Amino acid sequence: MTHSDSHSPYRANAEGFFGDFGGAVLPPHLAGPMADVAVAYEEASADPKFQDELQALLSKYVGRPSLLYFAENLTRELGGARVYLKREDLNHTGAHKINHCLGEALLAKRMGKKKLIAETGAGQHGVALATAAALVGLECEIHMGAIDIEKQHPNVIRMELLGAKVVAVEEGGRSLKEAVDSAFGVYAAAPEEYFFAIGSVVGPHPFPSMVRDFQSVVGREARAQILEAEGRLPDLLIAAVGGGSNAMGLFDAFLNDESVRVMGVEPGGEGLEGTRHAATMTLGTPGMLHGMQTKVLQDAEGEPSPVHSIASGLDYPGVGPQHAHLESLGRAEYVSVSDAETLAAFQALSRIEGIIPALESSHALAQVIKVAPTMPQDAIIIANLSGRGDKDVDYVAELLKQAATA
Ligand SMILES: *Cc1c(COP(=O)(O)O)cnc(C)c1O
């Protein structure tokens, strides 16, 4: 199914609108280049050769299908629903992002582009994109906030080893939002040279639909795997939401199964009262950000608010427009968990299952820990374990030390 499938109420129309959200709001000179991407993607998604090439890379290079793991210890410990984890952490490069980066790299190559450009938060998108660029044979330029460069330095080394040029962004909060602006500025000056490889289901049309399609392999696999393991569909899906790509990837294949509850988990940070969170779905209001109409954490002038999360891959003041749409239709619900709950879930999964999850994914796990005990023992939850936590261990050790001495 392509993104313009008009038969589903959950998908975008031809202009990239999911109900009131989405679209492509761009400076006039970028409207043409972005429309070219939309047309190229439309053609590629209908071309069996493109799909076969992508599928071959996903199975032979990424290592798909990823496991759907029954977390028996965690299930016993929580004493409620049966908990399954979709193991995107086992992908080559250690997270779900490689799924859409390979798709974007193949599309860029098909369009005759020489260079991929992108922003990165935790460094996961940058590493995944640099990996895809190396494999497919494209140049790669990654913009990253200076704070994130400090927090995630091993990922900077990885990107450079993979042949990418890493640009440190010193503006404003020196984090993900500024990195998006910086990369977009370079792209806007030379759109014929670059393919702007957006790192989530955000930005102007066609990216929210295209990145979702590339990630939808996660949910298609999970659906087949749970039917094989349990002989029925799950009751609840849970995934962390930053921009929303791992969540849409898991949700997409189940949206027409109305019995399956769908839940996104946002970073509640240090609490929803002040500004030390990034709970866009919970507290955001309709607005414009990065070329799309969506929910935004913003001030009275429409300036995006400063955001915070313990997981730098989630500290984004916007959200993918399809999530805003799914919420408005009542098809998906969104909750938040705090940094402290996330840190506890990170430690719990490590000890109980011997799996160190990414801090981003730990948001989904924190919600599992909250809801599984309230559900019957024959209920089934699938949570997306979007990435591994190796990148986070130094930061977590520091946080635990601070907590111990506080
Ligand atoms: C980037 C990242 C996320 C957040 O991005 P989404 O687009 O919301 O999926 C979640 N988990 C991991 C491991 C990530 O690297």
Spell out the domain ranges in the chain.
Answer: 18-59+97-211, 63-94+216-405
State the pTM of this model.
Answer: 0.96
Strand partners, 264: 239, 334
120: Cβ below 6 Å to ligand 1? Answer: no
Which residue's CA lies nearest to atom 14 of ligand 1? 313
Q: What is the pLDDT of residue 196?
A: 96
Q: Is 363 in the pocket of ligand 1 (CB under 6 A)?
A: no
* pLDDT of 3 strictly over 90: no
Structure tokens, 243: 């921009």
Alpha-carbon distances, residue 69 vs 167, 221, 305 (angstroms): 38, 12, 38
Mean pLDDT of 248-265: 98
Cα of 124 vs centre of ligand 1, distance in Å, is 8
Full strand arrangement of the beta sheet holding 21-22:
17-18, 21-22, 292-296, 285-289
Distance from Cα 205 to the centre of ligand 1, integer Å: 20
Q: How do residues 24-53 score in pLDDT, each as one tens digit?
A: 999 999 999 999 999 999 999 999 999 999
For ligand 1, mutation pick of 88, 96, 119 (most atoms within 8 Å of CB):
96
What pLDDT does 151 receive? 80
pLDDT at 117 over 60: yes
Nearest-CA residue for ligand 1 atom 15 is: 124
Predicted confidence (pLDDT) at residue 83 exceeds the cutoff of 50: yes
**pLDDT digit string, tens, across residues 141-161:** 999 999 889 888 889 999 999
Calculate how far, in angstroms, residue 28's C-alpha sits from the geometric centre of ligand 1: 31
Choose which residue among 342, 360, 385 to substitute to test ligand 1 binding: the one with the highest number of ligand atoms within 8 A of its C-beta: 360
Task: State in Å: Cα 266 to ligand 1 middle.
Answer: 11
- Split at pLDDT 50, 70, 90, the class of 260 is very high
Pocket perturbation via mutation, ligand 1, pick of 100, 314, 362, 367 by most ligand atoms within 8 A of CB: 314
Average pLDDT over residues 68-84: 98
- Decide if pLDDT at 184 tops 80: yes
C-alpha span between 357 and 355 (Å, rounded): 6
**Residue 200 reports pLDDT greater than 80:** yes
Per cent of the chain over pLDDT 90 is 89
Q: Which residues are catalytic?
A: 97, 119, 386
Q: 95 CB less than 6 Å from ligand 1?
A: yes
18-59+97-211 and 63-94+216-405: identical CATH topology: yes
pLDDT at position 1 over 80:
no
Distance 368 CA to ligand 1 centre (A): 17
Q: What is the pLDDT of residues 329-356, one digit of tens each?
A: 999 999 999 999 999 999 999 999 999 9
From atom 7 of ligand 1, which residue's Cα is the shortest distance away?
245
342 lines ligand 1 (CB under 6 A): no
The model's confidence at residue 5, banded by pLDDT at 50, 70 and 90, is low
- Is the CB of residue 249 below 6 angstroms from any atom belonging to ligand 1? no
Fold of the CATH domain 18-59+97-211? Rossmann fold (3.40.50)
Terminal-residue alpha carbon distance, the chain = 53
Q: Which residues contact 266 (CB under 8 A, 6 or more apart)?
A: 240, 241, 277, 278, 279, 280, 281, 282, 314, 334, 335, 336, 337, 363
Share of the chain above pLDDT 70, in %: 99
Centre of ligand 1 to C-alpha 280, Å, is 15
Q: What is the pLDDT of residue 6?
A: 53
Closest ligand 1 atom to Cα of 97: 15
Q: Is the pLDDT of residue 2 over 50?
A: no
315 pLDDT tier (thresholds 50, 70, 90): confident
Closest C-alpha residue for ligand 1 atom 3: 313
Right CATH for 63-94+216-405 from 3.30.70.1140, 3.40.50.300, 2.60.40.420, 3.40.50.1100: 3.40.50.1100
